[in-house]
Structure 1
């Protein structure tokens, strides 16, 4: 894949920013098993990070994450605004969006693989036209698991987040409660701050868990596809001069 950073709309404020953004994002992309193409090389997928100046101020930017295919473009994830966007503010904004961006890259790669599989030609039969490929070779190895620890952790985290949302909703519904003590004194208890806190924590945990689960499902799907492609297939070959056994596959 290829990473592009477009800071043309920022003018002089964008000098050196494209390199800083690339250096920030590239380690996360390569860690997710994507190989970055060099300048001038072709790539099956291009991600562009585009900056534009907002009307609210010269240092208020809108940051767009887009997939580029020829002259067309489509959002990879939702764009984000960055106010007073100096380095100290910009880098945390990018780090916050990185998990969702990696998940979008995995989903895009899986979509491109499906499209390539649908448009690929069927395997040719033997020279005589008799017989079809038979799966005769043992598996190259154990099939990848549907989920790894990353996905399981995402499910657990999402479950905890959902529980936090429910608990926070209960606390908010209680509102302010006035309770009588033993000495006929009334004690005022406000449950709303705890409710807001639980909802905020629960929402974050739910979103993070869902992203982790999506990333793990995409990676495992990619591994299963690669395992199927490595499998060898044997088929009989009949010719006027004799008979034989053909084999096809990737080695």
Structure 2
């Protein structure tokens, strides 16, 4: 499976329309690259820290994000993790991600469970999700997560207990804590013997700088590919059979005991 992570530059100096234009320009480069899976980052359309615009930017689950990216899924013949957007359902707002198949159909969605409270209004403005998301694809079972979720290992172990072989993560992780990002990405992959694909933002917004360093990590915790600090298209080939092989060779998950 060939994966493409689109590490987007997100800043307060541009509009959502300009970010869409740039994202679609990068997507157009993937038409003939035989890519199977494309990931975009967290809240790239509105900007994570642009809290004043959350309600205005909100859309239904099957709204602009799904409609526009469905076209690119078909054109590239690839699955797409949409990156997250502000979903509106009745009076509630969620930080939501979808997985589209190569025909543009929604295979599943995930509402961010762990909302960020440190120097952030996410907890005040949004409603937390209450379900993990595990989705069966033709390549294997994948689990969706978002940014701050990386700090909560129980969520990832639950996804693994339900058959997940690869974690697909969208993020807007800041440069100030990028060492934590690198540590958590490797740890969540290694302790769960799973691939981890994490797509981050870069750029500046309200004095906060995105950390970049999107990465693909093996089930053995090795970084197979990593972006820098600027906008970048990161490509890597992975084989989910490696998950089964490593788990059989070193069956640590079978030794897991839940301590009450």
Which has the larger share of strand? 2
Q: Same fold (TM over 0.5)?
A: no
Structure number with larger C-alpha Rg = 1
Q: TM-score, normalised by structure 2?
A: 0.26
Q: Which has the higher contact order (CA 8 A, sep 6+)?
A: 2
Which has the larger share of helix? 1
Q: TM-score, normalised by structure 1?
A: 0.26
